[in-house]
Amino acid sequence: MRFPSDLRLFIAINLPRGVRASLYRSGELLALTGADVKWVEMENLHLTLRFIGGVDPSLLPALRDALAEVGTVHRRFAMRLSSPGTFPARGVPRVIWAGCTGDLAVLCALQRDVEARVVATGLPPETRPFSPHVTLGRVRSDCNVRALKDRLSAMRETDFGSMEIGAVSLMESRLSSQGPVYQSLFEAPLTFQPVS
Protein backbone atom coordinates (compact mmCIF):
# COMPACT_ATOMS: atom_id res chain seq x y z
CA MET A 1 0.00 0.00 0.00
CA ARG A 2 1.25 3.49 -0.86
CA PHE A 3 0.72 6.45 1.45
CA PRO A 4 0.88 10.18 0.57
CA SER A 5 4.17 10.53 2.48
CA ASP A 6 5.84 7.79 0.40
CA LEU A 7 8.60 8.56 -2.09
CA ARG A 8 8.22 7.00 -5.55
CA LEU A 9 11.73 5.82 -6.39
CA PHE A 10 13.76 4.03 -9.03
CA ILE A 11 17.45 3.43 -9.71
CA ALA A 12 18.70 4.42 -13.14
CA ILE A 13 21.53 5.33 -15.44
CA ASN A 14 21.06 8.91 -16.57
CA LEU A 15 21.99 9.57 -20.19
CA PRO A 16 24.16 12.37 -21.62
CA ARG A 17 22.24 15.25 -23.17
CA GLY A 18 23.42 14.48 -26.72
CA VAL A 19 22.16 10.90 -26.56
CA ARG A 20 18.86 12.03 -25.04
CA ALA A 21 18.46 14.58 -27.86
CA SER A 22 19.09 11.89 -30.48
CA LEU A 23 16.53 9.57 -28.87
CA TYR A 24 13.99 12.38 -28.62
CA ARG A 25 14.40 13.28 -32.31
CA SER A 26 13.62 9.66 -33.21
CA GLY A 27 10.41 9.94 -31.18
CA GLU A 28 9.49 13.07 -33.12
CA LEU A 29 9.97 11.15 -36.40
CA LEU A 30 7.87 8.26 -35.12
CA ALA A 31 5.16 10.70 -34.01
CA LEU A 32 4.69 11.71 -37.65
CA THR A 33 2.94 8.35 -38.15
CA GLY A 34 -0.01 9.69 -36.16
CA ALA A 35 0.17 6.76 -33.74
CA ASP A 36 -1.42 7.30 -30.32
CA VAL A 37 1.75 7.30 -28.22
CA LYS A 38 2.68 9.17 -25.05
CA TRP A 39 6.32 10.03 -25.77
CA VAL A 40 8.80 10.38 -22.92
CA GLU A 41 10.04 13.94 -22.44
CA MET A 42 13.68 14.45 -23.43
CA GLU A 43 14.83 15.28 -19.89
CA ASN A 44 13.18 12.09 -18.57
CA LEU A 45 14.92 9.60 -20.88
CA HIS A 46 16.97 7.12 -18.81
CA LEU A 47 17.83 3.44 -18.42
CA THR A 48 16.05 1.90 -15.42
CA LEU A 49 18.07 -0.61 -13.42
CA ARG A 50 15.44 -1.14 -10.71
CA PHE A 51 11.96 0.31 -10.26
CA ILE A 52 11.28 0.56 -6.54
CA GLY A 53 7.93 2.35 -6.29
CA GLY A 54 6.47 3.95 -3.20
CA VAL A 55 8.61 3.66 -0.07
CA ASP A 56 8.73 5.37 3.28
CA PRO A 57 11.33 8.18 3.37
CA SER A 58 12.99 6.44 6.34
CA LEU A 59 14.39 3.89 3.87
CA LEU A 60 16.41 6.54 2.00
CA PRO A 61 19.63 6.22 4.05
CA ALA A 62 19.74 2.44 3.51
CA LEU A 63 19.16 2.86 -0.24
CA ARG A 64 21.87 5.53 -0.45
CA ASP A 65 24.32 3.27 1.40
CA ALA A 66 23.42 0.33 -0.85
CA LEU A 67 24.02 2.39 -3.99
CA ALA A 68 27.29 3.80 -2.64
CA GLU A 69 28.51 0.21 -2.07
CA VAL A 70 27.54 -0.69 -5.65
CA GLY A 71 29.73 2.14 -6.91
CA THR A 72 32.83 0.85 -5.13
CA VAL A 73 32.74 -2.58 -6.78
CA HIS A 74 31.82 -1.67 -10.37
CA ARG A 75 33.89 0.06 -13.01
CA ARG A 76 32.98 2.58 -15.67
CA PHE A 77 31.96 1.02 -18.99
CA ALA A 78 30.87 1.87 -22.51
CA MET A 79 27.39 1.50 -23.92
CA ARG A 80 25.64 2.36 -27.17
CA LEU A 81 21.94 2.86 -27.85
CA SER A 82 20.48 1.73 -31.15
CA SER A 83 17.82 -0.31 -32.95
CA PRO A 84 14.40 0.81 -31.69
CA GLY A 85 11.85 -1.92 -31.00
CA THR A 86 8.64 -2.70 -29.14
CA PHE A 87 7.26 -4.66 -26.22
CA PRO A 88 5.70 -7.01 -27.15
CA ALA A 89 7.62 -7.72 -30.34
CA ARG A 90 4.49 -9.01 -32.11
CA GLY A 91 0.94 -7.74 -32.17
CA VAL A 92 -0.09 -4.33 -30.84
CA PRO A 93 2.93 -2.73 -29.14
CA ARG A 94 2.63 -1.28 -25.65
CA VAL A 95 6.12 0.24 -25.31
CA ILE A 96 8.53 1.75 -27.85
CA TRP A 97 12.18 1.45 -26.81
CA ALA A 98 15.82 1.86 -27.86
CA GLY A 99 18.08 -1.13 -27.35
CA CYS A 100 21.49 -1.31 -25.68
CA THR A 101 24.72 -2.69 -27.08
CA GLY A 102 28.29 -2.61 -25.81
CA ASP A 103 29.45 -4.04 -22.48
CA LEU A 104 26.13 -5.74 -21.76
CA ALA A 105 27.71 -8.35 -19.49
CA VAL A 106 29.05 -5.51 -17.33
CA LEU A 107 25.68 -3.71 -17.43
CA CYS A 108 23.80 -6.87 -16.41
CA ALA A 109 26.26 -7.57 -13.58
CA LEU A 110 25.71 -4.01 -12.34
CA GLN A 111 21.94 -4.47 -12.48
CA ARG A 112 22.11 -7.79 -10.59
CA ASP A 113 24.17 -6.15 -7.85
CA VAL A 114 21.74 -3.21 -7.62
CA GLU A 115 18.86 -5.68 -7.34
CA ALA A 116 20.57 -7.74 -4.62
CA ARG A 117 21.41 -4.68 -2.54
CA VAL A 118 17.91 -3.22 -2.88
CA VAL A 119 16.44 -6.52 -1.68
CA ALA A 120 18.94 -6.51 1.23
CA THR A 121 17.33 -3.25 2.46
CA GLY A 122 14.11 -5.22 2.99
CA LEU A 123 12.29 -4.39 -0.26
CA PRO A 124 10.69 -7.22 -2.26
CA PRO A 125 12.59 -8.62 -5.27
CA GLU A 126 11.77 -7.61 -8.83
CA THR A 127 9.76 -10.37 -10.52
CA ARG A 128 10.35 -9.33 -14.14
CA PRO A 129 13.60 -10.21 -15.91
CA PHE A 130 15.96 -7.32 -16.70
CA SER A 131 15.81 -6.25 -20.35
CA PRO A 132 18.28 -3.39 -21.03
CA HIS A 133 16.46 -0.61 -22.90
CA VAL A 134 15.43 3.03 -22.79
CA THR A 135 11.68 3.62 -23.03
CA LEU A 136 10.84 6.17 -25.74
CA GLY A 137 7.05 6.05 -25.51
CA ARG A 138 3.96 4.14 -24.39
CA VAL A 139 1.29 3.21 -26.91
CA ARG A 140 -2.21 4.24 -25.77
CA SER A 141 -4.34 2.69 -28.54
CA ASP A 142 -4.02 0.80 -31.82
CA CYS A 143 -4.54 3.98 -33.88
CA ASN A 144 -2.04 3.97 -36.81
CA VAL A 145 -0.07 1.12 -35.26
CA ARG A 146 0.70 -0.36 -38.70
CA ALA A 147 2.36 2.90 -39.81
CA LEU A 148 4.25 3.06 -36.52
CA LYS A 149 5.58 -0.48 -36.90
CA ASP A 150 6.59 0.18 -40.52
CA ARG A 151 8.53 3.30 -39.48
CA LEU A 152 10.19 1.38 -36.64
CA SER A 153 11.22 -1.36 -39.07
CA ALA A 154 12.79 1.25 -41.36
CA MET A 155 14.73 2.66 -38.37
CA ARG A 156 16.09 -0.74 -37.29
CA GLU A 157 19.72 0.24 -37.94
CA THR A 158 19.49 3.66 -36.26
CA ASP A 159 22.40 4.52 -33.96
CA PHE A 160 21.53 6.94 -31.16
CA GLY A 161 25.08 7.34 -29.89
CA SER A 162 27.55 5.93 -27.42
CA MET A 163 28.42 6.96 -23.89
CA GLU A 164 30.59 6.06 -20.96
CA ILE A 165 28.56 4.98 -17.94
CA GLY A 166 30.21 6.39 -14.84
CA ALA A 167 27.45 6.48 -12.21
CA VAL A 168 24.09 5.14 -11.10
CA SER A 169 21.42 7.33 -9.56
CA LEU A 170 18.65 6.99 -7.03
CA MET A 171 15.77 8.88 -8.63
CA GLU A 172 12.48 10.24 -7.34
CA SER A 173 9.45 10.39 -9.62
CA ARG A 174 6.91 13.07 -8.75
CA LEU A 175 3.61 12.98 -10.59
CA SER A 176 2.23 16.27 -11.91
CA SER A 177 -0.59 17.29 -14.24
CA GLN A 178 2.01 17.57 -17.04
CA GLY A 179 3.42 14.09 -16.35
CA PRO A 180 6.20 12.72 -14.15
CA VAL A 181 9.09 14.91 -13.01
CA TYR A 182 12.32 13.06 -12.17
CA GLN A 183 14.87 14.27 -9.65
CA SER A 184 18.17 12.66 -8.71
CA LEU A 185 18.36 12.18 -4.93
CA PHE A 186 21.77 10.49 -4.87
CA GLU A 187 24.40 9.60 -7.45
CA ALA A 188 26.94 6.84 -6.89
CA PRO A 189 30.05 7.07 -9.10
CA LEU A 190 31.42 3.78 -10.41
CA THR A 191 34.91 3.94 -8.93
CA PHE A 192 36.26 0.37 -9.01
CA GLN A 193 39.72 0.20 -10.62
CA PRO A 194 40.70 -3.29 -11.80
CA VAL A 195 44.32 -4.28 -11.12
CA SER A 196 46.14 -4.53 -14.46
Query: Model's pTM, two decimal places?
Result: 0.93
User: DSSP state, 30?
Assistant: H
Long-range CB contacts for residues 85-94, cutoff 8 Å, separation at least 24: 85/133, 85/152, 86/139, 86/149, 86/152, 87/131, 92/139, 92/142, 92/145, 93/139, 93/145, 93/148, 93/149, 94/138, 94/139
Superfamily classification of domain 7-189: Cyclic phosphodiesterase (3.90.1140.10)
Q: Which of 50, 74, 117, 133 is catalytic?
A: 133
Kindly list the domain boundaries of the chain, sorted by start residue: 7-189
Give, for all 196 residues of the chain, the pLDDT tens digit.
444 568 999 999 999 999 999 999 999 999 999 999 999 999 999 999 999 999 999 999 999 999 999 999 999 999 999 989 999 988 889 999 999 999 999 999 999 999 999 999 999 999 999 999 999 999 999 999 999 999 999 998 899 999 999 999 999 999 888 888 999 999 999 999 877 6
Q: Which of 23, 24, 35, 46 is catalytic?
A: 46
The answer to whether residue 74 is catalytic is no
